[in-house]
Each structure stands twice: as C-alpha cells, then as structure tokens.
Amino acid sequence: MSQIRIKVLIPNSGMDQNTLEARQKMLSKAVSPQSILSVECIPAGPLSIESVTDEVSAAPYLLNAGRQAQQDGYHAFVVYCFSDLAVDALRENLTIPVIGPGEVGLAAAGMLSNRFSVVTTVEKNVSRTLRRLMHDPVCREKLVRVRALNIPVTELRENPQATIQYLRRICKAAVEEDQSDTLILGCLGLAEYGDILEQEFGLKVIDPAFLAVAWAELSVRLNLTPSRRSYGYYQEAL
C-alpha cells in the first residue's frame, strides 16, 4: 500500500480549525511519511468528555463519522479519547481497524512497567476512569492509583504553562507516594508533555495519543482488523 489514510476523530465539539491543524501536525510525528492523518472533532455534542453522559452523547457522532470515514476510503479510524468511546460499537460497524488510545496505552504499560499511575483531568473523572480500568487485567495487577490534575479539559488547551506545572506535581506524587515507575497520560489533551516529564522525573511516561496513531498505521500494514467472530457485524433491524 503506497499511502495509508487515517481518520482521527476527537469526541469534543467546538474545536477551531487552527487547533485541529496543530493536533494533526503533532500526531504526524508518530507515523511514517506514507501515512496521511486527518484530524477532526465532532460537529456537535459535549465540549469535553468528563462523564458517562458525555460519552453517551458523543457516541452517535463517532458512529456516523466512522461509517463515513470507511465510505470515504480511510484505512483506519482512531477515537481520540482515553475513554475509548464507542470503540466496540465501531468495530461492529466497520471493517477497517478501529483504535482506542486507552487500550494501546494499557497494553504498553503492561509490557513496560511493574507499577503505574494514571493521570486524568478533574477529580470527578477518577471514579469513572477507575470503573473502566479495573475491567482490564493489566490494571488489576499493576495500577497503583488514578490521580487528577484538577484542571478542566478546555483549560488544558488554553494554558499549557499551567498544565505542565500541574503535571509536575502529579509526577512527583506518582514517584514518591505511589512508587510508580510509569505514568499514563489519561487524557489526550496532555499529549506531547511526556518527554519533559521523563527527563525531569526519570519515570516512563506513556502517551496514548502518539501510540494510537502509530498502532493504527501498523494495524493497516498487518491487516489487524476486527474479528467478526468477536464483534459480529451490526445489521439494523428492518
């Protein structure tokens, strides 16, 4: 395949074109020059994903965008959220690879860490994140704690200097209190802070944003598509 086209959909509405283009440029570092990323956000719905209600509200837009992406000839679809919104439903509807950053982030932590912490945005996200993560055997064995930055997702985009200061405090606590050797960035609005934190604190920082697009490219090359025995194929009732 000479060129791989990957659709990346952010399940937050209201993002301006400059922000989307900057995110596309950033993520392109994780794939080869033969892969073309297209980054978009949902046209309506929640401004950020900070509750189960937000997840349910955004899901129909993700399904529609996934179907459209496959129809338009994209080779893979990435749900750009650590919560992996609607990933299973998308796999029932699509034949191309569907990537959830949370899944690939946890897979990396399972291989590279003995103890890891996860950082999310605000305190109310901690319980929602824990409920989901504890279904994963890697988390049941190695997850120490989910910590909150206590900064809203929308502010992450507007104030990077404040964000890195919050992250420094979280990393210090993860190392000194949790005794973690690895930190997962549990919100994709935190993408690209990993290198700074690794250098300062000496722990491995897993950035699911970059992992997701890299895994999407690999999935296309190796034909890692949804198993119909596992996911079936959705057929709308007549």
> Rounded to an integer, what distance in angstroms lies between the CA atom of residue 230 and that of residue 235?
15
DSSP string, 175-209: HHTS--SEEEE-SGGGTT-HHHHHHHH-SEEE-HH
Per-residue pLDDT tens over the stretch 95-143: 999 999 999 999 999 999 999 999 998 898 999 999 999 999 999 999 9
N-term to C-term CA, the chain: 37
User: What DSSP state is assigned to residue 14?
Assistant: -
- Local confidence pLDDT in tens for the 238 residues of the chain: 689 999 999 999 988 899 999 999 999 999 999 999 999 999 999 998 989 999 999 999 999 999 999 999 999 999 999 999 999 999 999 999 999 999 999 999 999 999 999 999 889 899 999 999 999 999 999 999 999 998 766 677 677 888 888 899 999 999 999 999 999 999 998 998 999 999 999 999 999 999 999 999 999 999 999 888 888 887 664 3
Q: Where do the structural domains in the chain lie, given as residue ranges? A: 4-100+211-226, 102-208
pLDDT in the model for residue 8? 98
Q: Which CATH architecture has domain 4-100+211-226?
A: 3-Layer(aba) Sandwich (3.40)
Strand, helix or coil for residue 8: strand
pLDDT in the model for residue 41? 96
Give, in degrees to the nearest 5, the angle at Cα 47 between 41 and 211.
Answer: 50
Say if 4-100+211-226 and 102-208 have the same CATH topology: yes
pLDDT in the model for residue 32? 96
At the topology level, CATH places domain 102-208 in Rossmann fold (3.40.50)
